[in-house]
Amino acid sequence: MKCITVQETAALLREAEEILIVTHIRPDGDAAGSGCALCLGLRALGKTAYLAANPPSMRRYDGLMTPYFAPADFAPGFIAAVDTASAGQFPPGWEPLAGRTDLAIDHHGTNSGYAKRTLLDDHAAAAGELVFLVLRELGVPLTADIAEALYTALATDTNGFRTAGTTGRTLAIAAELHDAGFDVFGLTRRLFETKSTARLKLESYLFGSMRFPLPGVCVMALPFDAITACGASEDDMDKLSVITMTPEGTRAGLLLRQLRAGDWKISLRTDGSVHAGHVLRAVGGGGHPDAGGAVLAGDPADMEAAILASLTKETQNPTI
pLDDT digits (tens, 9 = 90+) for 186-232: 999 988 888 999 999 999 999 999 999 999 999 999 999 999 999 99
Number of neighbouring beta carbons within 10 Å of residue 318: 9
- Asked if 222 and 206 touch (Cβ cutoff 8 Å), the reply is yes
SS3 for 248?
A: coil
Report the distance separating Cα 170 and Cα 189, nearest Å: 20
Alpha-carbon separation of residue 81 from 38, 172, 248 (angstroms): 10, 25, 38
Report the distance separating Cα 237 and Cα 6, nearest Å: 33
* Mean pLDDT, residues 124-146: 98
* Mean pLDDT, residues 40-45: 98
Beta bridge partners of 269: 253, 291
- What confidence category does residue 83 fall into, taking pLDDT thresholds of 50, 70 and 90? very high
SS3 for 31?
A: helix
Residues 6 or more apart whose CB falls under 8 angstroms from that of 170 comprise 124, 125, 126, 129, 154, 158, 161
What integer pLDDT is reported at residue 318 of this predicted model? Answer: 44
Percent of the chain scoring above 70 in pLDDT:
98
The structure's pTM equals 0.81
Number of neighbouring beta carbons within 10 Å of residue 175: 9
Domain residue limits, the chain: 6-191, 197-315
What integer pLDDT is reported at residue 56 of this predicted model? Answer: 64
What integer pLDDT is reported at residue 12 of this predicted model? Answer: 98
Q: Does domain 197-315 have CATH number 3.10.310.30?
A: yes
Percent of the chain scoring above 90 in pLDDT:
80
In the predicted model, is pLDDT for residue 316 greater than 80?
no
CA angle 47, 50, 51 (to 5 degrees): 145
Report the distance separating Cα 129 and Cα 137, nearest Å: 13
* Mean pLDDT, residues 13-17: 97
Report the distance separating Cα 18 and Cα 280, nearest Å: 36
Reduced DSSP (H G I as helix, E B as strand, rest coil) percent helix, strand, coil of the chain, to 5: 45, 15, 40
Nearest to 97 by CA among 54, 160, 43: 54
E strand intervals along 17-123: 19-23, 49-51, 78-82, 103-106, 117-120
- Asked if 126 and 157 touch (Cβ cutoff 8 Å), the reply is yes
pLDDT digits (tens, 9 = 90+) for 108-125: 988 999 999 999 998 999
Backbone angles phi, psi at 290, to 5 degrees: -115, 5
Residues 6 or more apart whose CB falls under 8 angstroms from that of 176 comprise 142, 147
What integer pLDDT is reported at residue 297 of this predicted model? Answer: 94
- With the C-alpha atoms ordered 115, 121, 124, 125, is the resulting torsion angle positive or negative? positive
Question: How much is the mean pLDDT over the chain?
Answer: 93
* Mean pLDDT, residues 19-47: 96
Alpha-carbon separation of residue 121 from 3, 35, 105, 277 (angstroms): 10, 17, 9, 14
CATH architecture under which domain 6-191 falls? Alpha-Beta Complex (3.90)
What integer pLDDT is reported at residue 265 of this predicted model? Answer: 94
Asked whether this chain's domains 6-191 and 197-315 adopt the same fold, the reply is: no
What integer pLDDT is reported at residue 319 of this predicted model? Answer: 46
Residues 6 or more apart whose CB falls under 8 angstroms from that of 105 comprise 9, 34, 38, 80, 81, 82, 83, 118, 119, 127, 130, 131, 134
Alpha-carbon separation of residue 261 from 49, 171, 173, 258, 294 (angstroms): 33, 39, 39, 8, 15
pLDDT digits (tens, 9 = 90+) for 288-306: 888 899 999 999 999 999 9
